[in-house]
Chains A and B, each alone.
Chain A
Amino acid sequence: MTALAVRLRFARTGYGKVGLAGSLLLLALIAVGPLLAPYDPSAIAGLPLQHASRQFPLGTDGLGRDVLSRVLWGGRSIVGLSVLATSLAYAAGASIGLLAGYTKSILDPLLMRAMDVLLAVPPLLFLLVLATGAGRSIPVLVLGVATVHVPSIARIVRASTQEVATHGYVEAAVARGERLPALLGREILPNVLGTVLADAGIRLTASILILASVNFLGLGLQPPAADWALMISENRGGIALNSLAVAAPALLIAFLTISVNLVADAVARSLGTSTDRKRVAR
């Protein structure tokens, strides 16, 4: 079986297919959307709060900007930033978990107590304080969202690392004198990945939702940026006049989170052991 086939095996399940199709569709929309947008997303194109019409298929928002154009532009920031934040979270969380779980040194309690402290702070509160203290910039936003995920990822990775480290193949590598990065990266990481990525979908969704909430609260991206979450918050005042300006971005966020979840579930299952894989293939 080729490597590609192994990677695409998840797509054979029903849910995997649906999720993959949905995600690809959305990604395509986000990628080429800006090219298709009939208007500049921040230009005032007509009268405010118009209903859908030939000229403005989704109507206009409170300032008279074309909702369709803003929707077509508005996926980039939320998807890009949440993917970035989630990846960062996995990179940091996995490194901390592997180190803490494998080295039975003082590092373990130090790292894990730090994680416990972080875990005790409610995520939104943390982000609000961060935005207030460190300013409302995009790097701060991404780092903030990533930091919210790190403790729980680190805990899961640490627990499965401790389990995997008892296996013969890890001991064989130790006896061979492999260095720490090789031990962690070659022997342990591939075997904890399945467990760790099992909740990647939920985490990505959570990132999207946190980002959306922060944007909605006005602490993330700032107007006039076109962003789905921001649009919901901007346009909710005019919901009675042009409900599409709220419904379109909201539905897209929902569609996005559901598709991502389906794909992530299927991928996580296809990363399991060979018997799990057979089950997936069925």
Chain B
Amino acid sequence: MNEHALAVDDLRIELVSGEPVVEDVSFRVGHGEVLGLVGESGSGKTTTALALLGYARPGVRIANGTIDVAGTRISGLSEAQVRRYRGRLISYVPQDPAAALNPSVRVGDQVGNMLERSSEKEAHVDDAFELVQLPTARDFRRRFPHQLSGGQQQRVAIAAALVCKPAVVLMDEPTTGLDVVTQANLLAQVRRLQRELGFAIVYVSHDLAVVASIADRIVVMYAGRVVEDGPAARVLSEPQHPYSLGLIASVPDPREPRVLRSIPGVAVGVGERPPGCPFAPRCPQRIAACEESDPRLERTGGDRLVRCLEWRRTPTLAPEWRAPSGALPSRPASLLAVEELRAEHRGRGDAVVACSGVSFAIAQGECVALVGESGSGKTTIARCVAGLHAPARGRVLLDGAALAPLAAGRTPDARRRIQIVFQNPYDSLNPRHRVAQSIARPAQALRGYSRKAAEHAVADLLERVRLPARLATRFPGELSGGERQRVAVARALAADPDLIVCDEITSALDVSVQAAVLELLADLRAELGLALLLITHDLGVVSSVADRVLVLDQGVVCEQGAVRSLLASPEHAYTQRLVAAAPTLSVR
């Protein structure tokens, strides 16, 4: 048997124009090893992963390098030749199983189609389903993908990847979109299967916390290169590359409520990589030599590699603990109060209860988090507070006065004081309005600013959210996700609110961008005395910004309390499960 399950050497992938997307990438994966390939958008991790399957996206080509899977060279083969190896040598579990499974083929057949010979097909499919703990009943295999839950769909995709017993399984963020508990179950199961069957895994993700829970070894990519490579535990506890350090410091960890530190600047895109070290513009320990020559990936002792001239100066990871939030009892008067809220969704038939009996209060300047999985009713509560959904029962009070259920019925002042920022940065800004227009509008509509005055305020607001003033004339389509979310925050600030409802505002962002947005929220609270209602599924986010937390299970508050004590010793069984399932950097 060959020494490595996967060996990648000197891989270079470029745009047809010759611009490199990935360059000088080499790494090895041993048999039965789990490699976490970590990087943010634009780091080249997905491009690298697809290359392992012998596939390049349109407009991109594999220019150089070799890829060997279990001793078989699969680079440089034609598409038809590679296809024979896909599935048997290396197989793939995609990010979104719902999109990867053919909606019109029964799930049993999808797995069976991976096998060529028809004899014993049934038995193999049975085995594969059993492996991933899916029901093996005939009836289940005859279902269509849409009749399965998200977790089950992902299991089918894993079964399809394992059915041919490959040497390497490539997983591309396979838990995106799954609830934390489902995610934790799936990860545990993958780990178990991997131990039993001995295949190697390349686990591609931007989420260090998830990678920490599964990987033996971590490869960190930045700007198309490997910047650090080493055993997982050591990379996570003592990163040697300043980018790895920054990335780790960006990850909110539910077990350790520490102050998040984002990496200054933004990631470089393809085609704008500076000469020399691509991280230099953002690097705190850069020296003159960094901008001249591109550092090589160097062995730094033990089993570790790092691409940095000054790695010896990389500081040790020193988490700053969050100070316990200020003296809450001294601010008893509540700004916002929600009393016995019950909300329903009316479809064709019966109303579906989204939440019921929910009560809580937020004091001036306080940050309260509503945590729950999808379907827990947390977003509906946020919408009731913002006046976008009329509650079936209960009231929302601002400064002790009951508010009208819908925004249209509230006073302009009430509308001004409560602002909402939405989850999806790609649809929260009107694509036809320039940034300045979007930000100026609330100031005009709610504060009676003249058009001139409102446009004047835009520059200040952009500065508030740490964006350059030149973005004012851009359209949202020209901004990154993080920039859009900051613009959305600026738009909320334009109304001079007392409370901002943040509905999962970082869930679509990369970790380091998320850290920067959370940092911004913390600063704004300090500067403006804003209160926040934070809607999230991520306990890590809760631990790093919120003062108090309410845990929602199927529309009912099952536990609430101060963040630190609740996360440290959850009492309700559901909270305990959530806390246990939350990915953390603390090594398993």
| Interface residues in chain A, defined as those with a beta carbon under 8 Å from any beta carbon in chain B | 167-169, 171-178, 186-187, 190-191, 273-275
Contact = CB atoms under 8 A, between A and B. Distances in A.
A234 B475 CA distance: 54
Given A172-B420, A174-B387, 20 more contacts: A167-B428, A168-B423, A168-B427, A168-B488, A169-B427, A171-B422, A172-B428, A174-B388, A175-B386, A175-B387, A175-B407, A175-B418, A176-B442, A176-B446, A177-B408, A190-B430, A190-B432, A191-B431, A191-B432, A273-B431
| 8 interchain residue pairs of minimum CB distance | A168-B428, A274-B477, A168-B422, A190-B432, A169-B430, A167-B427, A177-B415, A168-B427
A169 B484 CA distance: 12
A191 B477 CA distance: 13
A62 B423 CA distance: 72
Nearest to A189: B432
Mostly helix, strand, loop or mixed at chain A's interface?
helix
A275 B432 contact: no
Contacts of B491: 172
B303 interface: no
A174 B428 contact: no
Interface in B481-497: 488, 491, 495
Contacts of A174: 387-388, 407-408
Interface of B: 386-388, 407-408, 410, 412, 415, 418-420, 422-424, 427-433, 438, 441-442, 445-446, 475, 477-478, 488, 491, 495
Contacts of A172: 420, 422, 428, 488, 491
Contacts of A169: 427-430, 433, 438
Nearest to A194: B432
A173 B475 CA distance: 18
Contacts of A176: 407, 415, 441-442, 445-446, 495
15 contacts: A167-B428, A168-B422, A169-B438, A172-B428, A174-B387, A174-B407, A175-B386, A175-B407, A175-B419, A175-B420, A176-B442, A177-B415, A273-B477, A274-B431, A274-B478
Q: Which of A168, A174, A274, A275 has the most CB of B within 10 A?
A: A168
Nearest to B475: A274
A168 B430 CA distance: 8
A117 to B, nearest CB: 25
Contacts of B446: 176-177
Given A175-B415, A177-B412, A191-B430, A168 B424 contact: yes
Given A168-B422, A172-B422, A273-B477, A178 B427 contact: no
A153 to B, nearest CB: 20
Given A168-B428, A274-B477, A177 B410 contact: yes
Contacts of A273: 431, 477
A177 B420 contact: no
Contacts of A175: 386-388, 407, 415, 418-420
Contact of B477 (A177, A178, A187, A275): A275
Contacts of A191: 430-432
A175 B495 CA distance: 12
B206 to A, nearest CB: 23
Q: Which of B407, B431, B432, B491 has the most CB of A within 10 A?
A: B432
A168 B432 CA distance: 14
Contacts of B388: 171, 174-175
B6 to A, nearest CB: 35
Contacts of A274: 431, 475, 477-478
Q: Which of B407, B423, B424 has the most CB of A within 10 A?
A: B407
Nearest to A193: B432
B36 to A, nearest CB: 32
B423 to A, nearest CB: 8
Q: Which of B423, B445, B488, B491 has the most CB of A within 10 A?
A: B445
A175 B438 CA distance: 14
